[in-house]
Every structure is written in structure tokens, then in C-alpha cells.
Amino acid sequence: MWQGIDIADMANRAAYGSNSLLDLGCGTGQSSSLFTIPAKVGVDGFEKYSFEYIKNSGGEFVKGDLRKISEMFPSKTFDTVVAWDVIEHLIKDEGIKLLTDMERIAIKQVIVFTPFGMYEQNDDPLGENNEFNIHRSGWMPEDFLRRFFDVAILKNYFKVNGQDAIFANKRVG
């Protein structure tokens, strides 16, 4: 719960009617576990997360580089494609390409959750030597609005520093 809002409910409302989920940068499966979608595939470059992802989400894990996701999945493969706390780990140009790839792979919708603006994270907060945990870009609502996403701002979402978060979703089908 965040300020009386159930984030899982928010995510499932955005993904309503989906039967398949592609979770990009899935980590240990915390984001996939929010969704009540029957078929889940998580992609992450850090293979150490594979067991936890499968345990937490009930989905299938694929090791892969998100910058090359277009080579991994054909167009219109998954009902919903999600990047939850992920896009900020790419440099801005790579993140924009990721959004384009997500829109191509999705049948119904794309969902992105990210800190509002730059959220400094220059090392791996989990202490696992995961180079992918470093934040390399900051995102603003306009970055999504110009791509015709619906955007919600979650005020003071990150408890550590009171930073806001962005929940963006776009119907593609």
C-alpha cells in the first residue's frame, strides 16, 4: 500500500484482460508478483535472480540484455509488457529504444514504473555486484506523455528520500 493506494490493484487495472506478461528487468520477481496474469516471462541480465524470480512469480526466467530485447521477441508476443523500476538503469537513448521495443512486442499495453526525475543510485544497493542496478537516467512525465502514455505521479513514493514515482501505461492494441 502507498498512501491508501494498492499498487498491485493499480497495476492489474492497467493490465486488465491480459493473459501474458513480459517483465523486463524482472529482478527477483517482485514486479511480476503484483500481476494476476497467468503466463509470465521475466527477462534480466543478472542470472543470479533466476531462482528467486521463478519462486516469487511462478513465471519463466530468461537471461537477456534489455538493450537487445528486439532480437529476443517478435512483434505482438505478449499482452502486457512491463518495465518496473528498470528504465532508469539505462542511458536515456537506450531507454527510449526500450519503450519503442516494448510497444512493438506488446499486444495490448505497455506499463512503466520509474522514479520521477533522477534518483541517484551509483552502486548496487543489494551488495550483489550487479552492474545493472546503477541508475543512468532520469525520467519525467513529459517523456511518456509525448509517446501518448497515461501518466500518474505517486507523491513521496520512495520512503528513503521522499522522491515521487511515475506510473505510465499505454494501450497499443
Task: State the average pLDDT over residues 88-94.
Answer: 94
Cα→Cα distances 128→26, 29, 49, 57, 73, Å: 16, 16, 10, 21, 28
Lowest mean pLDDT among 7-16, 80-89, 119-128: 119-128
Q: What is the mean pLDDT of the chain?
A: 88
Task: State the average pLDDT over residues 55-59.
Answer: 90
Task: State the average pLDDT over residues 40-53.
Answer: 87
Cα 51 from Cα 35, distance rounded (Å): 19
What's the pLDDT band for 2 if we cut at 50, 70, 90? very low
Q: What pLDDT does 1 receive? A: 43
Lowest mean pLDDT among 66-75, 88-97, 124-133: 124-133
Lowest mean pLDDT among 2-6, 69-73, 88-92, 111-115: 2-6
What is the CA angle 57-59-62, rounded to 5?
Answer: 120
pLDDT tens-digit readout, 128-151: 665 666 778 999 999 999 999 999
| Most confident among 54-68, 69-83, 133-147 (mean pLDDT) | 69-83
Cα 122 from Cα 43, distance rounded (Å): 22
The single-letter code of the amino acid at 21 is L
Task: State the average pLDDT over residues 32-57.
Answer: 89
Distance separating the N- and C-terminal Cα atoms of the chain: 30
pLDDT value at 158 more than 60: yes
User: Residues of the chain with pLDDT > 70: what percent?
Assistant: 87
The residue among 71, 19, 24, 17 whose CA lies nearest residue 46 is 24
pLDDT value at 11 more than 60: yes
Residues 6+ apart with CB under 8 A from 47: 63
Q: Kindly write down the DSSP assignment for every residue of the chain, as one continuous string.
A: -BTTB-HHHHHHHHTTT-SEEEEET-TTSTTGGG---SEEEEEES-GGGHHHHHHHHSSEEEE--GGGHHHHS-TT-EEEEEEES-GGGS-HHHHHHHHHHHHHHEEEEEEEEEEBB-----S-TTSS--GGGS----B-HHHHHTTT-EEEEEEEEETTTTEEEEEEEEE--
Q: What pLDDT does 19 receive? A: 97
User: Residues of the chain with pLDDT > 90: what percent?
Assistant: 64
Which domains, ranges and CATH numbers included, belong to the chain?
A: 7-171 (3.40.50.150)
